[in-house]
Each structure stands twice: as C-alpha cells, then as structure tokens.
Chain A
Amino acid sequence: MMKEKKGIGESIKRLFKDPSSLVLVLTSFIFLGLFVIYPLIVVVFSSGFDSWGTFFSKPRYSKALLNTIVSSSLSAITATTVGFIYAYAINYSNIKGKKFFRFIAFIPLLAPSVMSGLAFLLLFGRGGMISQWLYSNFNFELDLYGLPGLWIVQTISYFPLAYMTITGVLRAISPNLEIAAQNLGARGFKLFRTITLKLALPGVINAFLLVAINCFADFGNPKLIGGNYSLLAVEIYGEIINNEPGLASVMGIILVIPALLVFWLQNKVLSKGSYQTVSGKPVSGLKRITTSKKTDAMLFTFNSLISLFIIMMFGITILFAFTKNFGRDNAFTLDHIRKVVFSSSSPAVMNSLVLSLVSAVLAVAFALVLAYIIVRKPFPGKKLLDFSAVLPIALPGTFVGLALIVTFSKGPIILQGSAALIVIAMLLKQMPVGYRGLTAAFKQVDKSIEEAATNLGANSRKTLTTVVFPMLQKTVVANFVYAFMKNMNTLSTIIFLITPKWVVAAVSIFNYAETGTYYWAAAVAVGLMGATLGTLGIIKLIFRSKVKIFDF
C-alpha cells in the first residue's frame, strides 16, 4: 500500500490524481452549499431589523411563541410518558399480545401526523362521532379545539417515536445489573426507580427532546385543531401567505434555535452521559426480571387503552373513506377512493409515491457518496462538508421549506413551481439520517478488508462494488425504507412548495380536513397508507429477511 502522506497540499494533489473522487467531492460541496448553506444565509439576511422589531413589539407573536413552547412541552411530556410505559410493558412485563402492541405502535408511522388530527376531528370535533354521542345522551358539549385537542393529538401521533427510542434503550440495559440489584435487596418499584429508570434516563430525555422538537415545528395539527390557540409554525404560514418573508424568516430562525440546541445537547451531553455500552446485548441465559402480576394487569390495561384509541382513529378514517358520508349516510361506496385516489385529475397519492421514491433513492445515493468520501477520501474542508451534511437533521421541516421557498422564488436561481424543490426538501430532511448511519457502517468495514481485495487484484471500483457495498446493503435498504416512509408522510416540509401539478397526499388530507370535506381527506389517507404498505410489501418480497419490515 501507498504510504499515507498528510497535509492539505498533499490531499489536494491526491484528489486531482483521482478525478472521479474529485467530481464526487465537488458535487457534494456544490449541492450542500446551494441547498443548505445558501438558503440559510438568505433567510438570515431577509429577516431585517424591521421584522425583528415587529416580532417583538406585537404581543400576537410573543403569544404564539409562548403557546408553542407550552404546548410542545406538554405534548412531549405526555408522549414520552406514554411511550415509556408502552415500551416498558412490551419489554419488561409478562403481558399477552406483545406482537399486537408492537404492531399498533407501528401503524401511526404509516400515516402523516395530520391524519391523527383528521381522525381526532372525526371522533371529537364539532359533529364528531363521540362528541355527538355525548351530546345526545348526556347533553354534554365536548369542545376540545385549542390546547386540549392539540395536546391529545400530538401525544398520540408522536408517542410511537418516543416508544421506539425508549425501546432501543430498554433493550440495551443488561439484565445483569437488575439481577445484581435484586440480589442486593431491591424489589419492585425500588428496583425500577434505582436501576431501570436510571439506566434508561438518557434515552428518555432523548425521546423527550425529539418529540418536543417535532411538536415545536408541527404545522398540520395546530392548524386543524388549534382553533384560536395560535402557534409559531402556523404564524409562519400566515406570513408567507401575507407575502412577508421577512417576518416569516424571523419566526423561522426562532423555530430553529431550540432545534439546534437540542441537536447540540444530543451530540455533546447525552452521548457522554449515556450508560449504554456498545456490546450491550443481553447476556445469554440470564432472563430479565419482570413485573408482578398486579403491575402486568395495569400495564396491559394501559397498552390496551392506547391501542383502542389508535384503532378507533384508523377505524373511523377507513369508515369515512368507504361510506357516502359516515354518520349521515352509511352506504358503502368506492366513489371517494375513485375520485381522489384513482382519478387523472386528482393525482395526489400518485405524486406522493413517485416523489417519495425518487427523493428517497437520491437521498440514500447521496448519503452513500458523502459517507464514502468523508470516511475514505482525504480532502480539505471535510469538517465543513460533514457539518452541512448533518445540519438539516436539526432544522425543523417548516424551516427547510420556508428557506427553500424564500431562496428559490426570487434571485438568480428560480425553482419555484417545479417538482425539484419538493424532491430536494424531502431529500435534505432524510439524507442526514442515512448519512449518519452509512458513515458508521463505512467505519465498521475495516480498511484491511478493502486492502485485501486490492492485494488480490481488484481495482478500486471492483473493491467498492464487490466488497464494500454488499456489506452496507442492510444499512442502505433500511435507510431507504425509512426515508421513503418519512417522505410519504411529510407535510410541514413541503407545504410551501406545493404546486397545482404536484399536490401531494399529505397536503390533500390537510386541505380536505380543514375545509370539512372529511370523506375525501379520509379517502386520500387510506390511499396513501395503501401506497406505503404496497411499496413496503414489494421491498419486503425482494429483500426478505435482509430488511426489517413487518417484523413485530
């Protein structure tokens, strides 16, 4: 092997000797510079002093900010609590139906979070099924618009996120510690409090922060059920409509600050204080100490209630999609599905599918290129490239969409009105996740394996395609699936970027729900879930056991 030489001059020289790598490096720099750094700069500069002044002088905006903080904290607390109990029940108790409960927690991931808002309206809104039933039987008027409704809906739509994060942590806790504690006399709640909860705490905090950030930038649900309870993401939307990109940018920046803070916290503080060990697999032969019968019963009831709620939400959506006007006319019909899913004038679901696939493929391909050059190729500006590749993960979707529309609707490059912006916005949100995963995977593939291949006569392309890529296959597929599902369901990232030709399903659901055309909203939601499930099914058929989908 060549002797490694260090120094910027040397790395540039080597880069020029390897033109294909040079092209990759330059493309990455240009792409990230154009779509991450440049929009950020434009947003910061278009938020003039006037706009900052307006923002702080009008009580309306500070109220929106306060509301946003209050509601996302509340939702994050409850979603994390629910997620923790749910995960604890599945991982620590002897309850029956764990598979079923895992399946239930997976369902909300199939639909945009705004679908929870829609289902909530159908059940508890004015004229909702349960509200009507309460009114006619008990003369009780249910009014959950505003904070209460928002709180419930965000809890339900984000608890799976908390559940997944916390499950990962709970699984990594070695049973040895608990058994040791038990031998030392800790029992029941004390064992839970001093060992399990303590070990899981970093994960719980992480889950809380993740949910809080998601709620903070959530757009669809606050708009649907927030009522007069105004929130920052909704105000941004209003200012974009009012043609006030300056004010919108100010609020966008305010939205970004806590997100960046959380991002930093996750990277610096949590990773240091984590009790997880890398080889944290449960020691074989040792069985986890589980809960008592009484606790089991409580946990089972809790999980069943949550499941019931989720089933009700999806059930009512399906009922609305397949009946003329559920509650008033319960006749079965395929009309709605035909009109808004399978009609050439209403291609929203098709658009979602195509754009999500294209964007997910590009996101993973780009992540692969980035991870490859960052891990394997020496070149100047590596830190900067790495930073701008991970940065979008910390930016709320609303902000990404806002930055792209503010930047590319005026100025030297105009992309407004094309599908490209939608694809790019989705890509920016999902690429960093894949990039992180693939960087880690690349690092795990030992360089010596590649060197062995080279010594056996393979050139660098052959080494890549026959040795490295097969080893990364699982990560690539997993990230593709994740990006695809997220793309299908994204609303806040693309709400500003929609054009009449490229309306996507999540936006249709939101629009129909907002204007009260519930059966169409439900039909699009069902179509979207069908498309997602169908695609996942095909992926599962191809990759079989190599990809973890539908493994409950």
Chain B
Amino acid sequence: MVRNKRNSGSVIILSVIVIVLVAGFFMYKSGVFGGKEKQKITVYSIFQEEEARKILDKFKAETGIDYDILRLPSGEAVSRIQNEMSNPQADFLMGGPADSHQVLKEAGSLEAYVSPNASDIADNMKDKEGHWTGFYLNPVAIGINENRWKEKYGDAPYPQSFKELTDPKFKGEIGMSDPATSGTAYTAVASLAQVWGDDEMLNYMKELLPNLKERPKSGIEPIQKAAKGEYTIGITFLGDQLKIKYQGNPITSIVPEAAGYEVGALSIVKNGPNTEAAKKLMDYMLTKEPGEIYTQSAYAVSVKDSVPIPEGGIDIKSTNYNSSYDLLKAAAQRKELQSALKDLK
C-alpha cells in the first residue's frame, strides 16, 4: 500500500513481523505448538472468576493442564451450553445452582461421570448417574441488621423461625426477593412447601406479604439493603450475609427451621474439546484443597465432611436447616408454585 521510498522498507519488514506474530498467535491458540503434553481445558465458571482462577491455577500446577475461562451468570451459562450442543466450546461447568445443571442434564448436554472422589457426598447433593456433582451448600438465612434492630425493637430476642416473621411489628421491615423470579427466594419457599405442604406455605407467604418492604429481582439485594439500614431483616443465602458482615456491617445471621439450601454443582459438558482433562478436573475439584479455597472465600459449606468449615463460617449442621430438602422436587414444582405465588397479593 505504501510506496514511499524512505520508509517502504521498514513498513514491509514490520508488516511481515506483524503477520508472522499474528499467525503465530492464532496457531498457538489452536494448539499447533506444544503438542499433546500442553493440554488445555475450557471452563465456563459461574463462580467469581477470582476463586475459579485460584483453583484452576493450582490444578495447572499439579497436572500441567492450562485453562481458558469465561465467567457467566448461571442463566447465560445454561443457554450457552444448550446453544452450543452441536459444537461444544467448553469442557467444564463450574458452580451455579444444581437446578441449572439439572436443566442441562435433561437437555442432554452433560457427560455422565461418577468421580471416585464423590463417594462421600450425600445422595441428595449429586446426580445419581453423575451428570452433575455437588460442590458446596448455601442455606437460606434470616439476616438482621443489629443496629436497626436495637433502634426498633430494643432488647427483644431475634426471630428464630420463619413463622415469627409474620408478626405485625415487622411491617415494612423485611426484604425478600420475589420467589417468582429469584432463585434464592424460590429455594426458601420450595423448602417450606416440602416441610409444611404447599397450602400452608402459600398461606404463610400471604401473611408475610404485608411485612415485606420490597421484593427486588436479584437474590442478594435484600441483605445489601438491610446492611445499609433501609430495613431490618433480609432473607438471602447465608454466604451473601456473611460476606457483607465481614465487609464491616453489623449483621447477625440465623438459619431457621425448614430453611432450604442451594447446592452449587459441577458438571462436564458432553462432547467438549477435552473431556479427559475435564474428568481430571472433576476428580481434582472433589479433593480437599479446592473445597477449602471456595468455601473460605464464599463462606459456603462444602458438601464433604472432610473439608473444614471456613473461618467465620457457620456449620449448618449446628442449625435447624432442612437437611432433607429435595431440589429435584423443587425444580419439578417450580412452574406450578410460582404461578400460585403470583396469584397472591
């Protein structure tokens, strides 16, 4: 393009260099160099990327398998994997509620693999055929802003059960996301329905409604707002409450009787580019170290007893949480319950 004598030489040399570098980069990307020893695994992560990278860096140091990672919200991860079924881009889906993995299983997008390291995980926290395997638990909890509680209710004891929250004195003091749209709130009510029966749960929600200050879309918002003092009580997952507490907010968390929980899961994408490596990663994820890395940063509880409760975390076994919560049943009922919930008001 450029025919100016003074710099045409340098331009040509430079363009050659650039073309070689670019071509080399593309070849490197498609794995032409390094052969098979330098394997790569592609991960969709619903975890925060920082935690996922911490774990994957350790995995890389141990096995020599490098990684590409893309963090996505769970809904996007599900639709991406489904859309890519004819030409899967990823090998491994890390994190996200087990319901999402179940959706993928039913769509036929997941590879069945029962890791030898999964034997000590309770049956209701993994898929029987190994399409997905649980990784952590996060129960629903009542989060209370201690300062605002003191202003409003003085020395009264904190509510220990869901039923106490219908007390009229809490009018406008509770935040809970909308169970018709938020996975967090849906987990809470689905568990209540399993323990109490559908009708009693609906009655309870009807009584609770006047006390709710708002029903935001996102699951974490109620505790953020309670922490800021916009209201006293926020119903969210425990891990979110603890995180906000350790950011310096006066929050007390109570896991009441019949509290449901989220199971964060792992799964292998069917026909991914490197399924062998994905199986290795699955085995590795179910060892102690990744469990510790994750639970420590998210204040969640591992599905495995061998992984200690993180510092500052709450052992849910010490609470009254609904240990028999059946997430598959909850998923199956979802449409029906949510439409019944929409009729309340």
Contacts and interface: CB of A to CB of B under 8 A. Distances in A.
A345 B3 contact: no
A243 interface: yes
Contact of A501 (B42, B71, B75): B42
Given A357-B22, A414-B87, A500 B75 contact: no
A350 interface: yes
A473 interface: yes
B56 interface: yes
Contacts of B217: 228
Interface residues of A, number: 42
A536 to B, nearest CB: 14
Interface stretch (B45-53, B131-139, B162-170, B182-190): B45-53
B73 A241 contact: yes
Given A416-B87, A473-B2, 13 more contacts: A126-B224, A241-B73, A241-B76, A241-B79, A345-B66, A345-B68, A345-B69, A368-B1, A500-B90, A501-B89, A515-B49, A516-B48, A542-B14
Interface stretch (B4-12, B119-127, B141-149): B4-12
A92 interface: no
Given A470-B3, A499-B89, A243 B84 contact: no
B69 A500 contact: yes
Given A345-B68, A350-B25, A498-B70, A542 B82 contact: no
Interface string A465-504: 1100110010010000000000000000000001111010
B3 A500 contact: no
A292 interface: no
Interface string A149-178: 000000000000000000000000000000
Closest 6 CB pairs of A and B: A500-B70, A241-B76, A243-B79, A500-B68, A500-B42, A417-B89
A480 to B, nearest CB: 10
9 contacts: A228-B216, A345-B56, A409-B83, A473-B1, A498-B70, A500-B68, A512-B49, A515-B71, A543-B7
Contacts of A414: 86-87
Interface of A: 126-127, 141, 228, 240-243, 339, 344-346, 350, 354, 357-358, 368, 409, 414, 416-417, 419, 465-466, 469-470, 473, 476, 498-501, 503, 511-512, 515-517, 520, 538, 542-543
Contacts of A520: 49-50
A339 B50 CA distance: 10
Nearest to B10: A542
A240 B82 CA distance: 13
Counting chain B residues whose Cβ lies within 8 A of the other chain, the interface size class is: 35 or more
B207 to A, nearest CB: 27
B29 interface: yes
A209 to B, nearest CB: 33
Contacts, number: 91
B60 interface: yes
B276 interface: no
B162 to A, nearest CB: 26
Given A242-B75, A354-B22, A501-B68, A465 B49 contact: no
A243 B26 CA distance: 31
B31 to A, nearest CB: 10
B50 A517 contact: yes
Nearest to A507: B70
B158 interface: no
B261 interface: no
Contact of B22 (A358, A409, A469): A358
Contacts of B49: 511-512, 515, 517, 520
A126 B224 CA distance: 10
Contacts of B73: 241
Given A241-B75, A499-B89, A503-B70, A339 B53 contact: yes
B43 interface: yes
A72 B247 CA distance: 35
Contacts of A368: 1
Interface in B269-323: none
B200 interface: no
